Amino acid sequence: MKPFAIAVLVFALGLGNHFLIGAVRSQFRSSSAQDQTLALVSLHTLDELQAGHVDLAKSFLARQVAYYYNDVQQFDVPSPTKQNLLRDIEASSLNSPELKDALSKKRQ
């Protein structure tokens, strides 16, 4: 009976390890995709600013923030960080016509 219990334990540990490695890989891919998105947004904004298109850069950034605020944030889990971000977005919209305009437009 003891060898059977050891075999079951080894199998369970191997199976658990397999799922853990899969979860870590999935998280890494997700993090990598977020980093790529951030780099893409930053690069586009930097290019607009380098070309002297300040208003286009502000408008582009405002649309990205509004997309999160109007569409994506509803799927995020509640957290103090999320609540602070939403308050910061609302406060910034008081001083930024581009952000205020972008927040008022829902994506079709």
Length of the chain measured in residues: 108
What pLDDT shows up at residue 99? 94
What string of DSSP letters covers 39-91?
HHHHHHHHHHHHTT-HHHHHHHHHHHHHHIIIIIGGGSPP-HHHHHHHHHHHH
Domain count, the chain: 2
Same-domain pairing of 47 and 68:
no
Q: What are phi and psi of 34, to 5 degrees?
A: -65, -40
Prediction pTM value: 0.65
Same-domain pairing of 7 and 46:
yes
Range of 9's domain?
1-51
Same-domain pairing of 87 and 37:
no
Same-domain pairing of 57 and 68:
yes
Per-block mean pLDDT, blocks of 10 residues, the chain (108 long): 60 57 59 83 91 93 92 86 93 95 81
Same-domain pairing of 62 and 92:
yes
What pLDDT shows up at residue 4? 65
